[in-house]
Amino acid sequence: MNKQSSAAIVLAAISATIVAAPPAVARDRLTGEAQLAKMLDGREPGKPVNCLPLGQSSEQRIIDKTAIVYRYGSTLYVNRPSNPESLDNDDIMVTKPLNGQLCSVDTVTLIDRNSRFYSGFVGLQQFVPYKKVASAR
């Protein structure tokens, strides 16, 4: 076997490894619904609300193709917007609320973090609060 044949075999083996790797990674990744279920584990839903005050949320997180989660202290508010297939956890959310609150009638524009181009929008719905369940001892 000459040097060219050996190099070609090594290159083919490396290429095959690279091509085979993505499905394994994708298989281990949780769906949006599974991510949300994991996040809400040990919490109970409360009565939905129409608006949340702006500026008081300590975290806003997009769950791929599923929901937007807002953290207010220990309470998580889950919004399952219309057009959820546009949600991508790597997008930037842009809102234009008129009254200092984020409400169920507002829309969220989504901007691709890398290209800075418009990538979609979602229409907010009611916000469902989830609080930790007191453990029985």
Q: What pLDDT shows up at residue 136?
A: 55
Q: What pLDDT shows up at residue 3?
A: 54
Q: What is the pLDDT along the chain (137 residues), one digit of tens a residue?
A: 555 555 445 444 454 444 444 444 444 688 999 999 999 999 999 999 999 998 888 999 999 999 999 999 999 999 999 999 999 999 999 999 888 899 999 999 999 999 999 999 999 999 999 999 987 55
| 137 falls within a domain | no
Q: Are residues 39 and 102 in the same domain?
A: yes
Q: What pLDDT shows up at residue 2?
A: 57
Q: Are residues 105 and 39 in the same domain?
A: yes
Range of the domain at 7: 1-30
Q: Are residues 92 and 43 in the same domain?
A: yes
CA distances from 37 to 34, 42, 85, 96, 136 (A): 5, 10, 18, 29, 21
Q: Are residues 101 and 128 in the same domain?
A: yes
Query: pTM of the prediction?
Result: 0.77
Q: Are residues 49 and 8 in the same domain?
A: no
| 97 falls within a domain | yes
Q: What pLDDT shows up at residue 16?
A: 45
Q: Are residues 37 and 24 in the same domain?
A: no
Q: What pLDDT shows up at residue 119?
A: 96
Q: What pLDDT shows up at residue 55?
A: 84
Q: Are residues 82 and 109 in the same domain?
A: yes
